[in-house]
Amino acid sequence: MSDIVLETRGLVKEFGGLRAVDGVDFVLRRGELRCLIGPNGAGKSTFFHLLAGTLRPTAGGIRFKDLDLTRLEPHEIARAGMGIKFQVPRVYDQLPVAENLWLSAHVRHGRAAAGTVADRVLDEIRFLQHRNTPVGHLSHGDRQWVEIGMVLAAEPELILLDEPTAGMTHAEARRTADLVREINRRATVIVVEHDMDFVRHLAAGVTVLHRGAILAQGSMDEIRDNPVVRDIYLGKRRRARG
């Protein structure tokens, strides 16, 4: 059982009367790559924020390795080895690309090694020519890459990627899928994604959230053949907001 990296038990988050996350039991094993899908308002973002510690659960528990995340501050969770990439790229627009990477590498590797790690990641995401460019001057897709680079530089054990391909072209999305698989060799990964093509390309396990709860889990093919999922999400365009 020690290969379980992340586990939530009866996780609940209420906003006023609304239950955005409603009793989620979620288990993730070391080295897994899992896609989290679901219609808008299914509770994916809230779930992410609960994992990151930026929201506190109303009830239930979260274990990351042997830590009780509900007791930790966001920075402590990050230090414990969780890396997050947000839906909208959250990068330091005024600072150069290299500085963004340095800031991320510095937490994990300390002052001495941070520069080397930042340089290596710069090369890995093929941004050497943009080293001194302020991130704000880059295109949306490129800023996504910088943020992915920041996640890489911190070398986390568990990576949360919230819609990594948002705003990317089809080719860029394919490249991202390859990179996510590459990252997955080193870390456990959860990806929230709307782009079904991308999810299929990843060939990962899928968890479907609906109205704050897990509706179905399995491979992409199993999910696609699940009539309930088809009904609310994949095929028909019914109102599916929770």
Which parts of 194-213 interact with another protein (CB under 8 A)?
none
Burial classification of residue 240, based on how many CB atoms lie within 10 Å of its CB (0-12 exposed, 13-18 middle, 19 or more buried): middle
| Comparison of 23 and 99: residue with beta carbon closer to another protein | 99
Minimum distance from CB of 74 to another protein (Å)? 5
Q: Determine which residue in the list 104, 184, 188, 226 makes contact with another protein, applying CB under 8 A.
A: 104
- In the 8-state DSSP scheme, what is residue 42? S
Inter-CA distances, 227 with 102, 221, 230, 232, Å: 47, 12, 5, 9
Between CA 179 and CA 176 the distance in angstroms is 5
- Which window, 100-108, 116-124, 166-174, 191-199, contacts another protein (CB under 8 A)? 100-108
Minimum distance from CB of 54 to another protein (Å)? 7
150 binds another protein (CB under 8 A): yes
* Full strand arrangement of the beta sheet holding 205-210: 82-85, 158-162, 188-192, 33-37, 205-210, 213-218
Minimum distance from CB of 181 to another protein (Å)? 24
| Comparison of 155 and 195: residue with beta carbon closer to another protein | 155
95 binds another protein (CB under 8 A): yes
DSSP per position, 161-211: EESTTTT--HHHHHHHHHHHHHHHTTSEEEEE---HHHHHHHT-EEEEEET
79 binds another protein (CB under 8 A): yes
92 binds another protein (CB under 8 A): yes
Minimum distance from CB of 147 to another protein (Å)? 9
Smallest CA-to-CA distance from 84 within 35, 37, 151 is with 151
Q: What residue ranges bind another protein (CB under 8 A)?
A: 52, 54, 73-76, 78-79, 84, 90-95, 99, 102-104, 106-108, 111, 114, 150, 154
